[in-house]
Homo-oligomer: A and B are copies of this chain.
């Protein structure tokens, strides 16, 4: 039983590797099998199709990531500290998994209609979770009450994604804590000279 799960995870890991290197369309099921050290047919014992394997891999990956980032643990401190924590964890995660993170960039839209929608929904869910943080921050009086939480969530998400691009693309490591602080500083107090 445990062994089945192990083998499954094994395949998912291999899939993550190959998909992130080649993108969905360039990836060959056989290469994933070889990477996992098993026969081609065995992949199909665990996943119904290449697409399902991709979705499962992607979902599992994103799920784990999410859990790590926005996990259910209660956070009692100031929201801004929560944001800082998210930024740091996020950046550290990317530092450690640059290649894996490419999956989210590589050849992912357009795979198929259904997947597109699913990925967009995943993204939206993430944004909505962020929105709640900002709502809470506004209610607690930490954040300005004349701003739209949804917009803040969008901008925060975008900023986060943007900062991460060079890490992923050039496999440059960045200083998670320092970068998080700098990004937060900008978002918290703005650009304008005072």
Contacts and interface: CB of A to CB of B under 8 A. Distances in A.
A185 interface: yes
A77 interface: no
A193 B142 contact: yes
| Copies of the chain in the assembly | 4
A165 B123 contact: yes
Nearest to A192: B188
A107 to B, nearest CB: 3
Contacts of A193: 141-145
A7 to B, nearest CB: 19
Interface residues of A, number: 51
A111 interface: yes
Interface in A140-175: 141-145, 147-148, 151-152, 154-155, 157-163, 165, 169
A43 to B, nearest CB: 18
Interface of A: 22-26, 80, 102, 105-111, 120, 123, 134, 137, 141-145, 147-148, 151-152, 154-155, 157-163, 165, 169, 179, 182-183, 185-194
